[in-house]
Amino acid sequence: MESVFSGSQIAFIGDFVPRQCGIATFTHHLCTAVQEACPDAQCIVGAVNDHQHSYVYPPQVRFEFHERDLDSYRRAADFLNINNIDVLCLQHEFGIYGGAAGSHILALLRDAKMPVITTLHTVLQEPDHAQRQVMLELIERSQRLVVMAEKGVDILREVYHVPDQQIELIPHGIPDIPFIDPNFHKDQFGVLGRTVLLTFGLLSPAKGIEYVIDALPEIRKTHPEIIYIVLGATHPNLLASEGENYRLQLERRAEALGVKEHVIFYNRYVNNQELNEFISAADIYLTTYLNEEQITSGTLAYCFGAGKAVVSTPYWHAQELLAEGNGTLVPFRDSEAITTAVLGLLDDDVKLQSMRKRAYLLGREMIWPTVAERYMETFKKARSSRIKEPRKAFGDLTLDQKPYQLPPFKLDHLFRMTDSTGMFQHGIYTVPNFHEGYCTDDNARALLLTILLDEIGQTGRSKEIEHAASSYLAFLFHAFKQGSGRFRNFMSFDRKWLEEAGSEDSHARAVWALGATLWRSQNKGHRKLSNQLFDQALPAIEGFTSPRAWAFGLIGIHEYFRRFEGDLEVSRIREVLTEKLLVLWRGTNAPDWPWLEDMVCYDNMRITHALILSGCWMPNQEALEAGLSGLRWLIELQTAPQGHFRPIGSNGFLRRGQSRAAQFDQQPLEACAMISASLEAFRVTKDPFFSQAAQLAFEWFLGRNDLDQPLYDPITGGCHDALHQDRINENQGAESCLSFYLSLAEMRLSQNPIQLHKSL
């Protein structure tokens, strides 16, 4: 194999040590093993980070990128291309990459020019829609897919229809630990003379450790020397969200059961040598995952290959590895079964030692040198199956092939316009206008923006964004009147509400933002409060008369359904609102006027956006056709003879029967609505007419408009309020700035599209 890869460069993408993650450890071991198997090759690593600051990586990490920074994925692809990497080995797990269902990694794969071998650490039998779409494109862009269990092969064939020649079954690698008496290492841990049960790995409730603790009182009755070691730090994500609550619950449980002296928690992430010594000291390894759909377990592979007797719940990997008496399987969440299984081994030393020896011998096929050879063979197949192309890293990146170049986010004006109450409604030039106070409309838009910024990965100002999101959501919570079920809209600078109930549009915009927060936010508290407000505020929209309010509500409902699709009451309201729009459509639609009102006024494209969403998700063919035909007409209506976007002006709008639309005053919210609707239409139809419409609408902000003047101000980061007949409105208020920021966010997300709509 060395002759094939001599002088080659092999890149590994995934988590990497010192990050505390099972995949980080796997990537490190695989990279090291491949390098040792082929010393004449150069193995490098691209590490994905999970926080703002970099880890102190070892030398083989040549570049790093942030999980939620979409642009960094493309820069990573550029690095791979310009360095002429020969093979890319991707470690895939939905949770380690940013975007919906980890979709950001697709941006890297789309631009990468070398063969891709993807190791699937999770293969879902019942993926949600976003996960399925990511998986399908991942399959399309990978020359080979590596799974670690036969169950993974079956799922790839049956669920994703992957051909056999694209699938490789390679077991999880393990260190080559000698088969020794467990007593050899027990003294260094202070457990000499004790019977050691071991569980290791990052601590989380999914491990089911409480069921082992519940089994200890019965085990102790006949084996008072028993000791249960729980080795591993609390999972970083759990630690960030809940602290050490789970570990403390386990400790209190052990104390309440009277087995406190039989449990040891080692709350730290150990290095490889320490881990091997802990494993060697164990008599029985327990792995009691609560979820059957665990297709790979590195901890199980390590202990099995080290010759440990294993008691496990029957998750997929365990079912295969421990079949035919190679271990003992117990039902999920069954402490009595754990007791019986452990005692069955401790009371039968012949059975225990036979199980250990059988596991050790089978494990020799899993040691890292053997696994590395299997990967090298897979790399060779991938290279030979890939059609050879000239390796010009950047020569083929012409303007029509590169992603549309977007300006960077400059959020100074957003924070300038925000205080602890929320976002100010208007600006005098670039200065917040205190006199006009605040409104629900803009705080809803601002909340939606923070969610998109978090999804894109604006890591440089993440703390400020999180703080601002709390202010915007708190404003909506304060704006909502429990008794009436309605949001108030306008608040003065001295925090006094100026009305008992706001407009229907402002109420529905708030519902939209809450639905989006509920689906997209990483903040559990924000999601819970948004869910509460969404449930209380949604019913009012059913009684509204504004078509735009119905549309805003529908968009919010579809955001909500990305997380809670089975909600029957929300589904009923969706049907009602969709039908209300269609009733209007049937009443006015004509070949020369494919619209649902006798006037084209403001935020028109939001209505088409809502119809397209309902058409796809319900599904409802009439709604889809109405949305697409209405949007196409609005695009043509709002395209100037010179080819640029010319939104319907608010100075007069357009009435049916008039020869042309009012040309001024052109509002940023119209460009924003056009971008959202057009991008959704493109996702559904793949018709470039719609993607071009979105691009033209965005360029309106940058100066491709009737006055050839940019509304976006790159110095302040704000956006001017309107395009008048003879000038730009120099004020930079909330609505205009948020319209630009939201447009930029959607354009960025569209460059890494995954199809979240439902197919008809």
In a shared domain, residues 125 and 212: no
Short-list 82, 95, 99, 122, CA closest to 15: 95
Residues 51, 188: one domain? Answer: no
The predicted structure's pLDDT at residue 389: 45
**503-506: long-range contacts, CB 8 A cutoff, minimum separation 24:** 503/441, 503/546, 504/541, 504/544, 504/545, 504/546, 504/549, 505/441, 505/546, 505/548, 505/549, 505/552, 505/603, 506/439, 506/440, 506/441, 506/444
What DSSP line would sit under 445-467, residue for residue? HHHHHHHHHHHHT-GGGHHHHHH
pLDDT of 691 higher than 80: yes
Distance of CA 456 to the CA centre of its chain: 10
- Round to whole Å and give the CA distance between 435 and 427: 10
Query: Could you read off the pLDDT of 388-419 as tens digits, one per residue?
Result: 444 444 444 443 455 567 898 999 999 999 99
Q: Residues 228-240: pLDDT tens digits?
A: 999 999 988 788 7
Locate all alpha helices (DSSP H) within 283-439, ordered by sequence. Answer: 298-305, 316-321, 335-346, 349-363, 368-385, 412-416
- The gap between the terminal CA atoms of the chain, to the nearest Å, is 48
Same domain, 240 and 147: no
Find all residues with CB under 8 Å of 11, minimum gap 6, and list them: 43, 44, 45, 46, 80, 85, 87, 88, 89, 114
39-43, 283-287, 392-396, 486-490: segment of lowest average pLDDT = 392-396
What is the distance between the alpha carbons of residues 311 and 211, in angstroms, rounded to a whole number?
12
Please return the burial class of 56, using the count of CB atoms within 10 Å of its CB with bins 0-12, 13-18 and 19+. Answer: exposed
Any domain includes 455: yes
Is residue 352, in this structure, part of any structural domain at all? no
Answer whether residue 274 is part of any domain. Answer: yes
User: What is the reported pLDDT for 660?
Assistant: 65
> Coil, strand or helix: which one is 344?
helix
Average pLDDT over residues 600-615: 97
Q: Do the domain assignments include residue 615?
A: no
Q: What is the 3-state secondary structure (H, E, C) of 50-84?
A: CCCCCCCCCCCEEEEEECCCHHHHHHHHHHHHHCC
8 A C-beta contact, residue 666 and residue 646:
yes
Model confidence at 3, pLDDT cuts 50, 70, 90, reads low
Residue 402 belongs to some domain of the structure: no
Q: How many domains does the chain have?
A: 4
Q: Are residues 199 and 340 in the same domain?
A: yes
- Assess contact for 117 and 372: CB atoms under 8 A: no
Cis status of the peptide bond prior to 665, with omega within 30 of 0: yes
For 333-379, write each residue's pLDDT tens digit.
Answer: 999 999 999 999 999 999 999 999 999 999 999 999 999 999 999 99
User: Does 646 share its domain with 523?
Assistant: no
CA distances from 480 to 220, 260, 404, 506 (A): 57, 49, 40, 11
- Do 663 and 734 belong together in one domain? yes
C-beta neighbour count of 627 within 10 angstroms? 29
In a domain, 400, yes or no: no
Q: pLDDT confidence of 70, banded at 50, 70, 90?
A: confident
User: Looking at the predicted structure, is the pLDDT value of residue 757 above 70?
Assistant: no
- Examine the domain organization and report whether 675 and 697 are in the same domain: yes
Q: Say yes or no: 458 and 322 in one domain.
A: no
Chain Cα centroid distance, residue 503? 34
Q: pLDDT (tens digit, 9 = 90+) per residue, 375-389?
A: 999 999 998 876 544
What secondary structure does DSSP assign to 513-580, as a single string?
A: HHHHHHHH-S-HHHHHHHHHHHHHHHHHHTT---HHHHHHHHHHHHHHHTT-TT-HHHHHHHHHHHHH
Does one domain contain both 261 and 340? yes
List, for residues 242-282, the tens digit of each pLDDT value.
889 999 999 999 999 999 999 999 998 888 888 889 999 99
Q: Domain of residue 522: give its range.
A: 437-565
Res. 754: pLDDT tops 70: no
Q: Which domain CATH number covers 147? A: 3.40.50.2000
Percent of the chain beyond pLDDT 90? Answer: 81
What per-residue confidence (pLDDT) applies to 740?
A: 98
Residue 510 has pLDDT above 70, yes or no: yes
Give a yes or no: residue 590 inside a domain: no
Nearest to 526 by CA among 513, 542, 544, 539: 513
| Predicted pLDDT of residue 390 | 42
DSSP per-residue string spanning 644-694: SB-PPPTTT-EETT-SS-----B-HHHHHHHHHHHHHHHHHH--HHHHHHH
Residues 201 and 71 in one domain: no
Section 670-697 average pLDDT: 96
Q: Which amino acid is at 700?
A: W
Computed over every residue of the chain, the mean pLDDT equals 92
Task: Say whether the peptide bond before residue 217 is cis (omega within 30 degrees of 0).
Answer: no
Q: Is residue 390 part of a domain?
A: no
Per-position DSSP letters for 312-339, written without gaps between them? E---HHHHHHTTTTTSEE--TT-HHHHH
Q: Does 374 lie in the same domain as 336?
A: no
Segment 635-654 mean pLDDT: 92
CA distance 617 to 595: 22
Residue 397 is predicted with a pLDDT of: 44
Same-domain pairing of 264 and 286:
yes
Please give the C-alpha separations between residue 436 and each of 493, 499, 602, 729, in angstroms, as whole numbers: 7, 14, 22, 17
Residues with Cβ within 8 Å of residue 440, at least 6 apart in sequence: 475, 476, 479, 487, 488, 489, 490, 502, 506, 507, 509, 510
